[in-house]
Structure formats: structure tokens, C-alpha cells
Amino acid sequence: MSRITRRRSLQQLGAFGFVASGFAQAVEAPAQPAQLRIGFQKSAVNLVVLKQQGALERRFSASKVSWIEFPAGPQLLEALAVGSLDFGLTGDSPPVFAQAAGKELVYVGAEPPKPLSSAILVKPDSPLRTLADLKGHKVALQKGSSAHYLTVRAIEKAQLQWSEFTPIYLAPADARAAFEKGAVDAWAIWDPYYAATELELKPRSLTTGSGLSNNNSFYLASRSFVHAYPGTVSALLDELTRADAYVQSNRKESAQLIADFSGLSLATVHLFITRRPNAPTAPLTPAIVADQQRVADAFARLGLIPKPVNVADIVWHPSKSIA
């Protein structure tokens, strides 16, 4: 090959993203994805604020941002696992069930604990007074949700066996209907459903998550999305932290934004956001990973998931690549 021909060949290789030295490939991932599909629930305060403010549309102007609402975390993670979503928020239990089922998901961020944001409720005139009184009774809960883990911990605290009460697996709207009709004796639920029921039905709380469940919230993404767009993931966590700072400094305006979107009353929104601590979003710390491992181990002990899981296996570390 002549010197001129070789130089032209190297220039052509360079045009296709190769470095001439050793012909090493140097293809960089796009800065932003063509689309950004966000899954959220009414409890996802920071995501709802970002949606209402149009913040992600401005930050990711090269992406088509879509918002898809879900009634609970298990449904959201199923959509994420089949490729219908890129990023979403759930409570502590849904990722455990998803990992045990072999779903390709990655923990990318977490909010601080908020144990007061979930509870096990009974009617005001219910004869049930303690957790031990749940023996032989029906408890409504969303299977695989944070309320599921709260129920596991409550049953352990009461020194009961899982077989000594009857879990009735229902999505939140159906669970509330069953609770109101008296078809179940208790209901394990999280905010804002908890706050709305508290104001409208005046139930009694047998327990909150305090001392039982930290009720952590996690942001998850598909493994392929994290691999292709780690910068976008980091930017999303930054935007979520900014949204939380706005909520903490502008409670009245934030409550109005959430009420306008959700259809919840302002009183309900104010009640449930007062139970939330400051919630900056960051990659998972070792302490949060350990806490989440306790959630996974509790479900494994009871045989509620098909196999034990190691939470750390699917935790994103920004300084490391995703295999």
C-alpha cells in the first residue's frame, strides 16, 4: 500500500469513529437518548414536581420525554423490565421481587427513609387494637409493594406466623373499596393513599413503619439505559434533588402542583408531604444497600420470592461501568 493510499484509508476509518493508532474503536454514546420514558406514582413527589414544572423537557431538550403513571411499584417495574420504560420510582419491595424474577433492572438512586409514610389501618370501631390481634384476620395489601414488607415486619413483631392471618392482595384502589365495605379487617398502605384515607375515613393506625420499615424509595433504570446513558442518569438524580429543595422551600406551591396533577385534595397533599423528610436523591450508600438486603432476606425466609437475591449485584456505581 502506498503512503498516500494508507493515509486516505486512515482518514476514512477516522470518519467512521476509529482512532488511527492501533485502529482502536472510540465510539461515544450520545449525550442524550432520543426518548426518555419516566414511570411514576402519585407518591413520587419530586418526579411530579419535575413533570409539572416541565424541568426535564428543558434539561433534556434533545429527548422526547414521556410520563407514564402507575398505581404501584410492581406494575411500574414490570413495564421497566419489558422495555416500556427507562427510569422510574418504587418503594423497597418491588425491586426485590423483580430481581428474584430475573428482571434486568438496576438501582441507580435512593431517597432517605420515610417510615411515617406508611401504616397498617383499621376502621375506627374495629376490635383490633394490637398487631397480635391480626391473627385470624384479613389484611389487604399490594403484593410486592412496600406495604408488603411493612406487613412482614408487623407480623414478625407480633410473633405471629405468616400462615396465622390472611393476606388479601389488592391494588390500592381495590383495597380501599374492600376496606370501606368491611371485606377486609385491616389495610397496609402508603402515602398518599394513607393520607387520603386518614382524612376521609378517620381510621386507626395499628402501626406505622417506625421501628419496622424505613420505607425507602428507589429509582431504577433498565440495565441497557444505564450502560448507554450514565450521564443522563446522573443528571436525573441532580434534577430530583433540585426538585426536593424546591418542595422543602415552597410547600404551598408544591402542594398545589401535586394537587393539580393528581386530583388529590390540598389537605391530603399537605398531610403526606409533611411526613416526608428532606429527600435529596443520590446513588445508593452501603448503609441503604444493607437495609435493602434485609428486605430481600425477609421475603426469602418466608418463601415469598422464588430465590434469595444479593441486592448489591444490581446496584449502579457511577464510577464503574455496567456490564
pLDDT, tens digit (0-9, with 9 covering 90-100), for 150-169: 999 999 999 999 999 999 99
Q: Running DSSP on this structure, what letter comes out for residue 185? A: S
pLDDT for res 12? 39
pLDDT for res 276? 87
Pick the CATH number of 35-113+216-314 from 3.90.220.20, 3.40.190.10, 1.10.10.10, 3.90.1720.10: 3.40.190.10
pLDDT for res 262? 86
Residue 278 phi, psi dihedral angles, 5° rounding: -50, 135
At a CB cut-off of 8 Å and minimum separation 6, what does 244 contact? 45, 46, 111, 278, 279, 280, 281
Q: Tell me the pLDDT of the chain (323 aa) as tens digits.
A: 444 444 444 343 333 332 323 323 333 445 789 999 999 988 889 999 999 999 999 999 999 999 999 988 889 999 999 999 999 999 999 999 999 999 989 999 999 999 999 999 999 999 999 999 999 999 999 998 899 999 999 999 999 999 999 999 999 999 999 999 999 999 999 999 999 999 999 999 999 999 999 999 999 999 999 999 999 999 999 999 999 999 999 999 999 989 998 889 999 999 999 998 888 999 999 999 999 999 999 999 999 999 999 999 999 998 775 55
Residue 69 phi, psi dihedral angles, 5° rounding: -95, 145
pLDDT for res 321? 58
Q: Exposure of 136 by Cβ count < 10 A (0-12 exposed, 13-18 middle, 19+ buried)?
A: exposed
Fold of 116-208: D-Maltodextrin-Binding Protein; domain 2 (3.40.190)
| Residue 194, all three cell numbers | 394513607
Rounded to two decimals, the pTM is 0.84
All CATH 3.40.190.10 domain ranges in the chain, comma separated: 35-113+216-314, 116-208
Return the percent helix, strand and coil in the chain, to nearest 5.
Answer: 50, 15, 35
